[in-house]
Amino acid sequence: MKKRLISNLAVIIFITIFLFSYLSKAQLEDQLGELQGNVEKVQDVSDNLSTSDQRTEYLKQEWTKILERTQVGRFLLGISSILKALSPAFKFLIGIEFSLSWLFFLSLGVWIAIVVIIYKAVKEPFQMKGWISLAIAIIIPTISAQFGMIVKTVSFFVPLFKNKWIILGSILITIILLYIYSLFMKTIGKKIKEKTKRENEERREQKAETLEKLEDIELRSRGIK
C-alpha cells in the first residue's frame, strides 16, 4: 500500500510540474511576444559572441528576465534551480539532464509511467514485496534510458505538443489510462490472492483428511477399532 502511494505520488508530482509549465507558458504569452519582437536584436548579439556556450548563456539570461516578471515564472525558476542540481540523477535515470523543455518533462513522464506500469505488473499478479517490485520497476526503464531509448522515442512526439488542447488532452488521457490500469492490476492481484487462499485451504483440508484416514488405518491395524 505504501509503495503504491509513492508511485501515485510520483505521477501526481510530474503532472503538477507539467501543468505549471503549461500555465506559465499561457501567462507569459504577452511577454514572450515582447521577446519575439527583439529576435533580431538577440540574433545580432549572438552573432557577435565567440562561442555557442556564450550564445546559450545570453539567451538563458533573456528567458530568466522574462520569467522573473511573474509569480509563476519565479516559481518555475525556483523549481528549476533545485531540479538543475539533480541533473546527474536525471541523466542516469531517464537519460537526459534537466531543462525547461518539453523533451525533458515528457521523458520524465514516460519514465514515471513505465515505473508505475512495471511496478503494478510485478507486484499485484506475483504478490511480490513492495520494495522488490519497486526496484525492478526502476531498474528496467533506467537501463533503457542508458541506451537513449526513452529520449529518442519521446523526441518523435515533441513536435505534436504545440496546441494547448493536445497538451491538456494528453495529460487527461494519461491520467485516465494509468488509473484504469491500476484498477485492472489491483483486481487481478485480488483474484490471484483469493485463488491462492482457496487452494491453500483445500490443501490443508486434504492433508487433514489424509492424516485422519492414516490414523484410522493405524488404529484398525492395532485392533482398536
In a domain, 94, yes or no: yes
What is the total count of domains within the chain? Answer: 1
In a domain, 64, yes or no: no
C-alpha cell at 81: 534551480
C-alpha cell at 121: 505488473
In a domain, 166, yes or no: yes
Collapsing DSSP to helix, strand or coil, 215 comes out as: helix
In a domain, 107, yes or no: yes
In a domain, 131, yes or no: yes
In whole angstroms, what is the distance from residue 49 CA to residue 45 CA? Answer: 7
In whole angstroms, what is the distance from residue 142 CA to residue 163 CA? Answer: 30
In whole angstroms, what is the distance from residue 46 CA to residue 55 CA? Answer: 5
In whole angstroms, what is the distance from residue 31 CA to residue 107 CA? Answer: 28
Q: Which domain holds residue 148?
A: 2-28+70-221
In a domain, 99, yes or no: yes
Instruction: Render pLDDT for 120-130 as a digit per residue (tens, 0 to 9).
Output: 888 877 777 88
In a domain, 111, yes or no: yes
In DSSP notation, 62-126 reads HHHHHHTTSHHHHHHHHHHHHHHHTHHHHHHHHSS---SSHHHHHHHHHHHHHHHHHHHHHHHHH
pLDDT level of residue 141 (50, 70, 90 thresholds) = very high
Whether the pLDDT of residue 142 is over 90: the answer is yes
pLDDT level of residue 200 (50, 70, 90 thresholds) = confident
In whole angstroms, what is the distance from residue 45 CA to residue 225 CA? Answer: 107
Question: Interhelix angle for 164-221 vs 102-126, to 10°?
Answer: 20
In a domain, 171, yes or no: yes
Whether the pLDDT of residue 143 is over 90: the answer is yes
C-alpha cell at 220: 484398525
